[in-house]
Amino acid sequence: MTTILGIETSCDDTGVAIYNSDKGLMAHSLYSQIDLHTLYGGVVPELASRDHLEKIIPLIKDCCNKAQIQLAHIDAISYTCGPGLNGALLIGAGVANGLGYSLKKPIIPIHHLEGHLLSPFLTNANIQFPFLALLVSGGHSQIIIAKEIGKYEIIGDTLDDAAGEAFDKTAKMLGLPYPGGYHIAKLAQTGHPIYDLPRPMLNSKDLNMSFSGLKTAVLTLIEKLKNDQEELSNTQKSNLASSIEEAITDVLAFKIDKAIQLTGINNLIIAGGVSANVKLKNKILKLKATNPNLQVTYPPLQFCTDNGAMIAIAGFYRFKEAKYDYSFSVKPRFDLSSL
Ligand code: KG4
Ligand code: ZN
């Protein structure tokens, strides 16, 4: 039986979780800094680091209490070593290595995106390799062939903005707070996709994506709609939100469909913050009509966005690499295919 303590601090969520090989996820604790950063309209790295530092120890205690376990009974500590904000990563890495050293427990540095990739295993341990993954977060839009743990081939990437970034930037144009994807999806429920927005790169032969043109198109459309009125009406805003959501999810569903055709892999996972999007999930599930063997797995809603549970389970799958070496470094830029 193996028990892993996982720590995530790459951006604006402090996440801690305890995963056990027999019992599964025993507990997780999460603190979101959204309210702190909302005041500034985006994540302020220095404030993020300071807040992680304040919250991390109480969260570890809280998580141990919920799991009814003492730190001494943990077998290893996994933590996000990159990519992410340098100072934020250093807090998680420092705490993980300090705890490991004092408790004489080995530590496991984890690639943040590998955490997202393996998050569906939290509720389904039977996902078979190789699988295809649509990894869509605030900083990444990638289509990946996961061949085995640690062997990831990126077969599609964004050429500019990530899907989550496109949601965040267009949400800002509509006066919506961060995280934009969540607020756009909510507003879109009362709107209709009446505006014709571009779906870039649908005709390209590859699996790459581009969302910066969409951002420009939304900005131009807002200027045009405003015309001589001061503000967009609520109806215009919700119709815009619906049109933006429709355009982004259309591109993602189209590209993943193409990836299924090109690779012949029918085993698909969707992960990362944007995988919380219901419209996206429904569009991908509809692909079963033309791909009857398609299996789609995604993490429970609370584990789509950043959390400690995905780092704990990734630590479990990489347990054999756990080391008693506490000379750590973090990698703010870190390519998943370099693992
Ligand atoms: O994975 P994540 O929590 O952090 C990164 O690793 O980047 O993803 C955050 C992204 C943000 O861009 C946010 O707008 C997006 O996930 N997001 C959503 C939804 N909830 C969060 N996008 C679309 N629909 C949602 N419901
Ligand atoms: Zn993430």
pLDDT in tens, the chain (339 residues): 999 999 999 999 999 999 999 999 999 999 999 999 988 888 899 999 999 999 999 999 999 999 999 999 999 999 999 999 999 999 999 999 999 999 999 999 999 999 999 999 999 999 999 999 999 999 999 999 999 999 999 999 999 999 999 999 999 999 999 899 999 999 999 999 999 999 989 989 999 999 999 999 999 999 999 886 778 999 999 999 999 999 999 999 999 999 999 999 999 999 999 999 999 999 999 999 999 999 999 999 999 999 999 999 999 999 999 999 999 999 999 999 999
Ligand 1 atom nearest 306 alpha carbon: 3
What pLDDT, in 10s, does the model give residues 12-43?
999 999 999 999 999 999 999 999 998 888 88
Take atom 14 of ligand 1 and give the residue whose Cα is closest.
181
Please give the pLDDT value at position 230.
78
Please give the pLDDT value at position 324.
98
Edge-to-edge order in the sheet of strand 76-82: 24-32, 13-20, 3-8, 76-82, 107-111
Which residues are within 5 Å of ligand 2 (an ion), measured at CB?
A: 137, 306
**161 Cβ below 6 A of ligand 1:** no
**299 Cβ below 6 A of ligand 1:** no
**179 Cβ below 6 A of ligand 1:** yes
Ligand 1 atom nearest 112 alpha carbon: 6
pTM of the model: 0.96
Element containing residue 156 per DSSP (H, E):
strand 151-156
- Gyration radius of the chain over CA positions: 20
Please give the pLDDT value at position 309.
98
The ligand whose atoms approach the alpha carbon of 275 most closely is: 1
The two structure tokens encoding residue 240: 């815009």
Please give the pLDDT value at position 40.
86
Ligand 1 atom nearest 113 alpha carbon: 6
14 CA distance to ligand 1 middle (Å): 15
The two structure tokens encoding residue 212: 């910066």
Element containing residue 126 per DSSP (H, E):
none
10 CB-side CA count, 13 A = 30
Pocket perturbation via mutation, ligand 1, pick of 111, 182, 275 by most ligand atoms within 8 A of CB? 182
**177 Cβ below 6 A of ligand 1:** no
Please give the pLDDT value at position 130.
97
Residue 102 CB-density burial (10 A; 0-12 exposed, 13-18 middle, 19+ buried): exposed
Please give the pLDDT value at position 255.
98
**256 Cβ below 6 A of ligand 1:** no
